[in-house]
């Protein structure tokens, strides 16, 4: 194999596929990036068997072939060579020579023939979504994905397709994030659970264009994302997702409308009083058109008054400040509405258009 391509093009492609290289694996071949120049295009491929990424880069193929190169070395070296044209050449022992200007590097490659390829799946019934929308959806929900492995479904996000609406849901047992996106097409009704890792990696790769699309294809066990010259194939998480409709109530006894920026800044100040893992609640004391935010810890205390528009009953309720802040940061509106029933029921932050909802469980507080 012998190929020639620009360093910038190669670096971009390696950066994209590296996101599917496993950090730990018993299969050393999966620690590699496959360079496939066996056709008229140069393909870079990485695959950890749960998520596979393939991208096409521009370049010249002087001699066809395939080779697998250790990903960590390849990624670091490509970033450090000059911004010029790179020649990659292999011999029949898979020894790979990388030449760029006056620099020549040799590294033992591995047979590309044994590299586990990304599954080839039927590409029918495409569902299109803008790159900007998908990127925003992941940003606005993924912080609610569980980091633990106690419940596999909590490590993924529900993609619920119905008519022309895609509902995306993430939860971790303490909160729920929901986004409803209107699609430009009618789609077949289907619910799948997409691994959170897949969505986070895709969000890093795709651009922020409202015009450019991501095409999604659903299979029995996989979901495929196609954009630009890149294909991402991911296994779906098996099982039935939680019945979230029972967790998101429209009932409330207290509604508060508040300036989002002011509330976020106030809670951010309060969080300084609470170190990591200290589960000190921030207390909302809602009385009339005033909401007093307060927190007490071993570091001291803070009180902050916010003007609000209240409907219904006065209420004193406590929350994990991190959960409230992450929900507020995900919302782009200037004002937010909080719906609450009592001190033991979740708070729901939602908009009138039903494009988002954030459900946050309260923390027990002692009220004198």
* Top-tier CATH class for 127-245: alpha beta
User: What is the mean pLDDT of the segment spanning 352-368?
Assistant: 87
What CATH number labels 2-114?
3.10.150.10
- Among all chains, which residue has been given the structure tokens 């119905």? 162
What is the pLDDT, as a whole number, of residue 279?
Answer: 72
- How large a percentage of the chain has pLDDT more than 70? 98
Integer CA distances (angstroms), 296 to 266, 302, 318, 365, in order: 14, 7, 12, 12
First to last CA, the chain: 77
What does the pLDDT read at residue 368? 44
44, 54 contact by CB (below 8 A): yes
From 297, 304, 308, select the one nearest 340 (Cα to Cα): 308
- What is the reported pLDDT for 365? 83
- Residue 50, SS3 per DSSP: coil
Q: Identify the pLDDT of residue 27.
A: 86
Query: How much is the average pLDDT of 101-110?
Result: 92
CATH topology (fold) of 248-360: DNA Polymerase III; Chain A, domain 2 (3.10.150)
Domain boundary assignment for the chain? 2-114, 127-245, 248-360
Give tens-digit pLDDT for 3-51.
999 999 999 999 999 999 998 887 889 999 999 999 999 999 999 989 9
- Helix residue ranges per DSSP H, 41-178: 71-80, 131-141
At 125-171, the pLDDT tens digits run: 899 999 999 999 999 999 999 987 678 999 999 999 999 999 999 99
Q: What's the pLDDT tens digit per position in 163-189?
A: 999 999 999 999 999 999 999 999 999
User: Tokens standing for 246?
Assistant: 């029972």
- What is the model's pLDDT at position 246? 77
CATH fold match for the domains 2-114 and 248-360: yes
**Rounded Cα–Cα distance for residues 252 and 311 (Å):** 10
Mean pLDDT of 242-259: 90
Q: What does the block give as tokens for 270? A: 């309060």
* Burial grade of 333 (CB within 10 A; 0-12, 13-18, 19 or more): middle
* Rounded CA separation 88/285 (Å): 66
Tens digits of per-residue pLDDT, 292-301?
999 988 778 8
Interatomic CA distance for residues 262 and 307, integer angstroms: 9
Structure tokens at 259: 């300036």
Q: Which pLDDT tens digit goes with each residue over 268-318?
A: 998 887 766 667 899 999 999 999 999 988 778 889 999 999 999 999 999
In this prediction, residue 122 carries a pLDDT of 82
pLDDT (0 to 100) of residue 277: 64
For residue 215, CA distances in Å to 38, 132, 134, 327 come to 26, 13, 11, 28
**What are the residues whose beta carbons fall under 8 Å from the beta carbon of 310, sequence distance 6 or more?**
254, 255, 256, 257, 286, 288, 289, 291
The reported pLDDT for the residue numbered 119 is 86
Mean pLDDT, residues 335-349 taken together: 96
* CA distances to 41, 317, 339 from 361, in Å: 52, 10, 12
Predicted confidence at residue 225, as pLDDT, reads: 97
Task: Round to whole Å and give the CA distance between 303 and 109.
Answer: 62
Give Cα separations from 293 to 1, 74, 187, 263, 316 (angstroms).
Answer: 66, 51, 45, 9, 10
Instruction: Report in angstroms the alpha-carbon separations of 190 from 251, 326, 354.
Output: 28, 29, 20
Q: Mean pLDDT score of the chain, rounded to an integer?
A: 93
Closest by Cα among 171, 174, 230 to 206: 230
Of the listed ranges 21-35, 89-103, 214-228, 266-280, the one predicted with least confidence = 266-280
| 77 or 245, which is more confident | 77
Q: Is the pLDDT of residue 72 over 60?
A: yes
């Amino acid at each position: 194999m012998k190929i020639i391509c620009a360093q910038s093009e190669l670096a971009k492609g390696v950066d994209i596929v590296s996101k599917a290289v496993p950090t730990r694996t018993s299969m050393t071949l999966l620690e590699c990036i496959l360079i496939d120049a066996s056709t008229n295009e140069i393909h870079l491929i990485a695959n950890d068997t749960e998520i596979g990424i393939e991208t096409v880069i521009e370049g010249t193929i002087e001699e066809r072939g395939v080779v697998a190169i250790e990903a960590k070395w390849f990624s670091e070296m490509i970033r450090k060579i000059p911004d010029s044209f790179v020649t990659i050449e292999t011999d029949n022992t898979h020894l790979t020579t990388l030449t760029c200007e006056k620099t020549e590097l040799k590294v033992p490659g591995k047979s590309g023939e044994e590299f586990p390829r990304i599954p080839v799946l039927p590409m029918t019934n495409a569902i299109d979504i803008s790159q900007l929308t998908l990127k925003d959806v992941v940003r606005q929900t993924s912080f609610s994905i569980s980091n633990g492995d106690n419940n596999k479904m909590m490590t993924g996000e529900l993609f619920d397709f119905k008519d022309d609406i895609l509902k995306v849901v993430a939860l971790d047992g303490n909160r729920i994030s929901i986004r409803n996106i209107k699609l430009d097409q009618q789609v077949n009704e289907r619910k799948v659970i997409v691994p959170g890792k897949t969505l986070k990696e895709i969000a890093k790769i795709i651009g922020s264009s409202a015009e450019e699309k991501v095409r999604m294809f659903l299979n029995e066990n996989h979901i495929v994302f196609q954009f630009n010259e890149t294909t991402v194939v991911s296994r779906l998480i098996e099982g039935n997702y939680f019945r979230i409709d029972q967790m998101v109530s429209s009932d409330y006894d207290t509604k508060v409308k508040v300036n989002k920026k002011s509330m976020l800044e106030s809670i951010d100040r309060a969080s300084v009083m609470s170190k990591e893992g200290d589960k000190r609640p921030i207390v909302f004391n809602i009385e009339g058109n005033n909401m007093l935010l307060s927190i007490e810890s071993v570091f001291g205390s803070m009180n902050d008054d916010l003007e609000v528009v209240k409907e219904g009953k006065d209420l004193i309720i406590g929350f994990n400040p991190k959960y409230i802040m992450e929900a507020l940061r995900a919302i782009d509106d200037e004002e937010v509405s909080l719906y609450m029933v009592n001190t033991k029921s979740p708070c729901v932050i939602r908009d009138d258009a039903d494009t988002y909802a954030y459900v946050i469980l309260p923390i027990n507080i002692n009220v004198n």
